[in-house]
Structure 1
Amino acid sequence: MGNEHYSLCIADDENLRLGVIDDIQKLHVTTCRLGMAPRRIVHCPEGRLFAVGCIESGIKELGVDGGDMSMGNCIRFLDDTTFEDIQRIDMEPTEMILSMVLVTLSVDQPVRSTAASAEVENESEFESNSYLVIGTGYVLTVEDEPIRGRILVYSCQTENSQGSNVRSVKQVTELQVHGGVYSICQFYSGKMLVAVNSKTQLCKMVNDGTGVVKLSMIGAGHHGHILSILVSSRAPKISTPSLKKSESAGNEADKEESAGNKESEMQQKEMLAIVGDFMRSISLIQYYPQYETLEEVARDFNANWTTAMAMLTDDVYIGAENWKNVYVLRRNIKAQNEEVRCRLDTVGEFHFGEMFNKFMSGSLVMPSSGSETSKSNTSQNRRRALGSPKKKSCAKGSSTATRSKKPVVTVGSQTLFATVDGTLGVILGLDAATTAFFSSLAKAMEKAIMPVGNFSHQLFRSFSSEHRRHPSHGFVDGDLVESFLDLDKATMELVVKQMNKDGTWDAANFAFSNGKEKATEQENEESDRWELSVDDVLAVVEEMAMLH
């Protein structure tokens, strides 16, 4: 009737199925027309700017005769509220922006002999600031990989001039390197890790004694990769302004003791990072400050073509590869055998269907005081529409085991992801009990609901690459379990019945919480006779849906 809808047509040997794809509810989106292709973007909160690395749409002519052609790269700084252009910095000819990140760096002062100079050195020892660091590479047609590149450091600040805030972007320093700078990340002690071609190196800011700040490489770096395109660590950013200024009113002895304790804790903590190789999956490296050395301590021996990765904890890492799969690796640090400790075990595999290109820690929702109220109202409205569920009779008598408790959802890490198709989502870390519940729900929905086109959901989600095919494990399909909310009452009851029949939803001692620290022995005896109701499953799924 004049309305256009996306449709899906599936044909097999016997049937032709025609379906209509529902419209997806979208967030409010403001479009900023750049007129060129964006390549990297970073938010600079201190300067209230967005730094966008772009490929200019026009072709620049190089040379007088105009024989050589190249796409120009530039950095555009936009206001983070109005998206107005503040400043633009053009790269050199054939120079391409490969990485861009906001890091907190401390400036090391030169060693001085006098007591006065030592006092100045100590005064600025803890000084650190946020810098926009950009890695580039000179791309030439005659080279397979860049043999030259630069690391550019910019300072983005907001200054108060004559009653108005003025944003300024100043270049602090730059460093010429032998290769393309594919990735940069924050590291410990106010330093940063950079991946230059097949090499991973540690960088720091150094004052040469004349007031000029320069970038300097520490140690020889780590080799052993084909092409290091990603590097990531869980190093916290150093708070700014400096520790000395923020504690100027404190006692000097307390400050020295606090600094000594922090230094001791830093020495005891392992300084770890992961490196994503283009063809050889993920490796774990450790920095030894006493030797100024980066050393590989474990690696994944599967041939995954890495496209994105992140450290969930110091021992658990998530990665994605070009066959649209995602996997989780774990470091077996307690193993007695050295060969086992050097191997990263694969503890999860999942086929997503889209290629990942970014992982980062964060959440899709903002915590608010009214979240619990809205969640409670949503659950009450849905229960009112479905009606009161039936209670299960006790096996040994005619009495009925009443229950006013609900399952508890426990969430650990929260990792945002982005795909090349434009999908944004979140991967939530679950404990064993919550995982058992949602795994049971997913299996019940697979058995009770006929999938579109009779395609096997388990087969679709299995890890599939060029030379490997493994069943999905260690993951729960969030889209599948949350589709439980869209089912009718009869189908919901069928799914819950299948969950109770399967019985694996409480295999990991799934806990029920009623606000009490301890349950009585009678409640423990009754819990053996409990069955899930539609309301129980709705409560858990709705609580999970509120997390993104």
Structure 2
Amino acid sequence: MAETTVHKPVNQVLSSLVDQEVGHQMDNHNLSSDELHRTYTVDEFEVRILEPERFGGPWETRATIPMQSSENALTVRVVTLFNTTTKENESLLAIGTAYVQGEDVAARGRVLLFSFGRNSDNPQNLVSEVYSKELKGAISALASLQGQLLIASGPKIILHKWTGSELNGIAFYDAPPLYVVSLNIVKNFILLGDVHKSIYFLSWKEQGAQLSLLAKDFGSLDCFATEFLIDGSTLSLMVSDEQKNIQIFYYAPKMSESWKGQKLLARAEFHVGAHVTKFLRLQMLSTSSDRTSSTATTDKTNRFALLFGTLDGSLGCIAPLDELTFRRLQSLQKKLVDAVPHVAGLNPRSFRQFRSNGKAHRPGPDSIVDCELLCHYEMLPLEEQLEIAHQIGTTRSQILSNLNDLTLGTSFL
């Protein structure tokens, strides 16, 4: 979303500050004529669609979608919806917005749907609006669920079917969350991140048109972003928080500590050191060891990594490892904490520990290895590499093979 600053007369500014609930326009009869003709700077927003003119060339704006006065776009997503009229799937650009008019005005927002293709009225524009509707509450997150559109409006999520001209609600869930910041979908499972109440794991049952809660994290967590992490048949739930941590949870209804399946259990935790605002799930590439392994199964191919971006401009990646490789690299990491000189005397093991900002927190499993530290292994003198490999009961070539496979598997970076 792009922001521009424009100059407007004060009477235009006042006329745009309309209470969305009752349509009450603010009075300006107490202002003098000089004040009415004075100009003020106002921020206006628009969504821009960019693409490179040629491969490797500069990015250029191909389409612009202006927002209304006081309107901000909160979420933009390409969704695939099933048109119940034509019985075909449609790829649409969905935008959720909010009117920011201060605490005295009830929050409202719009859902906008755009189709891709040249507009006959404006051939330069690549998108055309096919649907727009105003709703109570800010539209903070959107996702497509089995051809239907899931909309987060304030504390409530509503599932809509698409007729080609209308969105009709068919199911909703609005019990505990305060404000939904993210929605993620895998098959009929929904991962919901709340601004203060951590994550919720829901399922959609088409028979009976029901959104039901499977489990949730009972802790207090200020979510920034969420996503599913898939490793073969294992499904994990990833969340980043305000304290620059990431946590991985899993759903295990048969385990006693899950309170009969009501509670999500911690699988791993890690301090990134930056606010993670977006996860992108990408399928890992096969490696030479995967192709030559006689035990290669679908679990090796159905493996996804999460590429993430942070507010300080950095990129990172979280990728699953098989048990044997993880144990080997974890042992290597423990040795490297002492073998590698610490930057400014800062201990890497201490830095990666979960930050709770004084809140009560039960430490989770130590199930993530720090590749930023592991990469220093190749920079050590050869004799030291051989010695460390011997100490952890493996060989230098095996360690380098594991690190190389991890690099190849995430070479989409």
Normalised to the residue count of structure 2, the TM-score between the two structures is: 0.80
Q: Distance in 1 between matches of 2:204 and 2:68?
A: 34
Task: Select between 68-77 and 318-327 the one with higher mean Cα deviation.
Answer: 68-77
Q: Which runs of no fewer than 5 residues in structure 1 stay unpaired? A: 1-52, 110-123, 208-212, 236-270, 374-404, 501-531
SS in 2 for 1:475: coil
Task: Say how many residue pairs are matched.
Answer: 367
* 8 A Cα contact 1:135 1:152, kept in partner: yes
SS in 1 for 2:101: coil
| 1:375-425: CA deviation from partner (whole Å, max 9, x where unpaired) | xxxxxxxxxxxxxxxxxxxxxxxxxxxxxx9xx996832111111111112
SS in 1 for 2:390: helix
| 1:181-234: CA deviation from partner (whole Å, max 9, x where unpaired) | 11111211x102111111111122125xxxxx1122223443321111111111
Q: Distance in 2 between matches of 1:183 and 1:351?
A: 26
Deviation at 1:543, TM superposition (A): 2.6
* 8 A Cα contact 1:185 1:192, kept in partner: yes
Match status 1:200 vs 2:200? no
Residue 461 to residue 337, structure 1, CA distance change in 2 (3 Å): closer
Task: Select between 283-292 and 301-310 the one with higher mean Cα deviation.
Answer: 283-292
SS in 1 for 2:374: helix
1:73 maps to which of 45, 64, 71? 45
Q: Distance in 1 between matches of 2:163 and 2:250?
A: 36
Deviation at 1:149, TM superposition (A): 0.5
Normalised to the residue count of structure 1, the TM-score between the two structures is: 0.62
Residue 183 to residue 220, structure 1, CA distance change in 2 (3 Å): closer
SS in 2 for 1:495: helix
Q: Distance in 1 between matches of 2:68 and 2:225?
A: 28
1:429 maps to which of 320, 325, 348? 320
1:157 maps to which of 99, 117, 127? 117
Q: Which residue of 1 aligns with 2:135?
A: 177
SS in 2 for 1:75: strand
Deviation at 1:128, TM superposition (A): 1.3
Q: Which runs of no fewer than 5 residues in structure 2 stay unpaired? A: 13-35
Residue 283 to residue 60, structure 1, CA distance change in 2 (3 Å): farther
Q: Distance in 2 between matches of 1:317 and 1:413?
A: 13
SS in 2 for 1:92: coil
Q: Which amino acid aligns with 2:11?
A: G
What does residue range 199-348 of structure 1 map to in structure 2 within 5 Å? 199-207=156-164, 213-235=165-187, 271-313=188-230, 315-335=235-255, 339-348=259-268
What does residue range 82-93 of structure 1 map to in structure 2 within 5 Å? 82=54, 83-93=59-69
User: Quick check: which has more Rg, 1 or 2?
Assistant: 1
Residue 71 to residue 223, structure 1, CA distance change in 2 (3 Å): farther
* 8 A Cα contact 1:156 1:167, kept in partner: no
Match status 1:544 vs 2:396? no
Q: Which residue of 1 aligns with 2:78?
A: 102
* 8 A Cα contact 1:355 1:421, kept in partner: yes
* 8 A Cα contact 2:7 2:39, kept in partner: no
Q: Which residue of 2 aligns with 1:238?
A: none
Residue 204 to residue 143, structure 1, CA distance change in 2 (3 Å): farther
Q: Which residue of 2 aligns with 1:477?
A: 370
SS in 1 for 2:320: strand
Deviation at 1:274, TM superposition (A): 1.2
* 8 A Cα contact 1:458 1:472, kept in partner: no
The Cα RMSD (Å) is 3.0
| 1:38-82: CA deviation from partner (whole Å, max 9, x where unpaired) | xxxxxxxxxxxxxxx212244655634368754111122333435
Q: Which amino acid aligns with 2:99?
A: Y
1:462 maps to which of 353, 362, 376? 353
* 8 A Cα contact 1:462 1:472, kept in partner: no
